Chains A and B, each alone.
Chain A
């Protein structure tokens, strides 16, 4: 029997390397600072608990993305139920269009937020998102199209 450790890194270095990626993805899902904080800690505590090994940094990143999205799922319901989010739980963005987009993303269906974030922020192709989320590439394209349409409507005040 062999201990598998193909791409080792200290837990601390993993936190420092992926802190922003995990936090931004978590916030993209729940759009609340306090929930993003909780998810952030849960993801890295799971990392210690599971002690996963990876063949590459790309695989490590993919694992962190999946776990972040899984952890975010249980926060969706409560986040959805809340009609308002305390002001200190939100970000004050520097430009009006950023604040407008933030508001629109709060209204956007949660299942679309992951593909939007991975596509527009992480720079993933639809094929890479398909692999990361383990859904069909056609589903990714459909979700992106619907997300764009929903965001456009919301930003125009049609929703």
Chain B
């Protein structure tokens, strides 16, 4: 009852078209402004750069060779605050991979932390290295955290990540201890973005077989309008492979269900290699139409033969579908590396 009322209530809440248009215009203006602003800032960091490099080099001569690369990254990512980062330089090595917390900076209620991963024995770390969902940050305060790959240095096989923590409860986070740990990462990722999918939409008819599934996840711009309030969702029954965008991803069914186009993407190794993708339509004017909603479900949960499915649903009538072409973007990974990397360090305010 609560869910049904909550959904129907939210379906009536929407941003006004004027707000959307104004926001897009503001974004355009800001985009132009940001481009103009970046160049004059080049002079400012010279002193900061000298201070920062000097500080690190004096503190740890062994790491001096890596300092310019890290500084360069810090300047690129956070040009205004690069000089305020305090060195941390705590490292942990496992499975031939060295993880180092290089530096941290606290401002207001936010902590920014640079972490590097370096492969000391082979080539498991590359420019596509992704911590996936395998990292965790233990701390004594409520916060939101993001972890973003900001650079890769081929010569040293080192990937650099920036972690941003934002505290939520008006607590002073300076001095807090924080533990950053990683249990696995993926690399050798490939991507196919905005590629044509070799399926003739004009030949798509009514679905041959459907099933009711319990969704593991729901998403999409019109999920409130179309996805039912009950637990079950009517989806296609997986069939033979109709199209393979890339290894590890397969279109296993397509068809109309209750007047809406369903396209099913089967994913092997979704949980271990983060293989995933999505579809969209392109009309005759080149406009992209995203799915109205998508439903994720799986077969063989908790087994080695688990296959994850995501079904994309478009509210396009069958007699209109010939006016559209099907495209998609797909990501797969070639390597997963496991280990246990863990560093505990205090969040200190730089002088």
Contacts and interface: CB of A to CB of B under 8 A. Distances in A.
Answer whether A and B are interacting partners: yes
Interface of A: 1-2, 4, 6-8, 11-13, 15-24, 27-28, 36-37, 40-41, 44-45, 47-49, 52-53, 55-58, 61, 63, 66, 69-70, 73, 91, 93-95, 97-98, 101-102, 116-117, 120-125, 128, 131, 133-135, 148, 151
Contacts of B274: 55-56
Contact of B217 (A19, A69, A128): A128
B216 A125 contact: yes
Interface of B: 2-3, 5-10, 12-15, 19-20, 22-24, 26-28, 30-31, 34, 72-73, 76, 127-128, 130, 133, 137, 142-146, 148-153, 166, 168, 189, 191, 193, 215-219, 221-224, 227, 274, 276, 278, 288, 290, 329, 331
Contacts of B144: 66, 69-70, 133-134
Given A70-B166, A125-B217, A45 B30 contact: yes
Contacts of B219: 58, 61, 122-123
Nearest to B17: A19
Given A17-B221, A120-B3, A128-B217, A135 B27 contact: no
Given A8-B193, A101-B9, A121 B224 contact: yes
Contacts of B9: 93, 98, 101-102
A116 to B, nearest CB: 7
A24 B14 contact: yes
A55 B331 contact: yes
The prevalent SS among residues of B at the interface is mixed
A58 B276 contact: yes
Contacts of B5: 95, 97-98, 101
A148 B130 CA distance: 37
Contact of B6 (A6, A13, A120): A120
B290 to A, nearest CB: 6
Given A70-B166, A97-B5, A121-B7, A37 B31 contact: no
Contacts of A101: 2, 5-6, 9
Nearest to B110: A70
Given A12-B27, A57-B329, 10 more contacts: A2-B151, A15-B27, A23-B15, A24-B10, A40-B19, A48-B30, A48-B34, A53-B148, A101-B5, A117-B10
10 contacts: A2-B127, A7-B193, A12-B27, A44-B23, A45-B26, A45-B30, A49-B30, A123-B227, A124-B217, A125-B216
A128 B296 CA distance: 13
Given A63-B146, A98-B5, A41 B221 contact: no
Contacts of A12: 24, 27
A40 B6 contact: no
A68 B143 CA distance: 14
A57 B278 contact: yes
Contact of B223 (A6, A123, A148): A123
B276 to A, nearest CB: 6
B20 A15 contact: yes
A63 B121 CA distance: 34
Given A15-B20, A48-B30, A55 B137 contact: no
Interface-centre pick from A40, A48, A131 (highest chain B CB count, 10 A): A48
A18 B288 CA distance: 14
A53 B127 CA distance: 14
Given A23-B14, A125-B217, A16 B20 contact: yes
Contacts of B150: 4
A121 B13 CA distance: 12
* 6 closest Cβ pairs, A-B complex: A123-B218, A23-B15, A98-B9, A120-B6, A134-B145, A48-B27
